[in-house]
Amino acid sequence: MWDKPQILNWLANLLIGMASLLFLYSALLLVVHSPLFPVRQIKVEGSLSHVTREQLQYIVKHELRGTFFTLDLEHTRSAFEKLPWVREVNLRRRWPDRLDVTIEEHVALARWGSIALLNTYGERFDAASNDALPVLEGPDGSEAELAHGYVAFRDQLAPIGRKPMHMWLSARRAWRIELDRGLTVELGRDNADIRLARFIDAYPRTIEAMGDSVQYVDLRYPNGFAVRLPPGTAIKPVKAT
């Protein structure tokens, strides 16, 4: 082999090529890890009502590690998403030294019992809020179903000026609503929206005419509903229509 110039030239070129690749790889590693390419700017975007500047500064100071090239975006995203009111974070590098951070906050729709909040996607999250929010309760895993039901019933009740303040969904998927001014409405399992629509249609000439003395309405009847009054309450006559 040593007396064949073509093979020797080929081996020489191969060794030179491998050496060049190793040199380029080493140079690339030096550049990537070089302190000459730090992340100098953090641009935060999003409509933020609950996430504070101090919380963001803490994440930037304690969780952002590495250069522009080596910064672990997944770790950084996870660090931001651990903040109580942060729902989702998107990160993007901007050459030569900027990191763009887009934050979506949770928008609280209701309280999940006494232990958490629900956002408008029906997702549970742990955060503190002083807002007057309705309370939803149901089996684990029914958060989205309850959130959807709350919005639907709230919109249905809006024309008669009543609001759901507390809602329950049982394990058998039966609905119960407590409205403002202490009126509890039993909807049951099937066709809850149809039953509520029937109640709303009759409300002005029945429940509203009786005043706030009505405490409980049971809609689980095929052709009407029943009401419960406190003992000794005088029933006001309702004019037929």
Give 147-204 pLDDT, tens digit per residue: 999 999 999 999 999 999 999 999 999 999 999 999 999 999 999 999 999 999 999 9
Q: The pTM is what?
A: 0.80
Per-residue pLDDT for 236 more than 70?
A: no
Q: Which residues are CB-contacts of 14 (< 8 A; sequence separation ≥ 6)?
A: none
In order of start, what are the domains of the chain with their CATH numbers?
41-105 (3.10.20.310), 108-228 (3.40.50.11690)
What pLDDT, in 10s, does the model give residues 97-121?
999 999 999 999 999 999 999 999 9
Q: Measured between alpha carbons, how far apart are the two ends of the chain, in Å?
A: 113
Is-contact 196 206, C-beta < 8 A?
Answer: no
**What dihedral angle (degrees, nearest 10) is formed by the CA atoms of 106, 110, 116, 120?**
-30
Give the model confidence (pLDDT) of 28-37 as tens digits. Answer: 444 444 456 7
Q: Evaluate the omega torsion of the peptide bond into residue 96 and state whether it is cis, within 30 degrees of 0.
A: yes
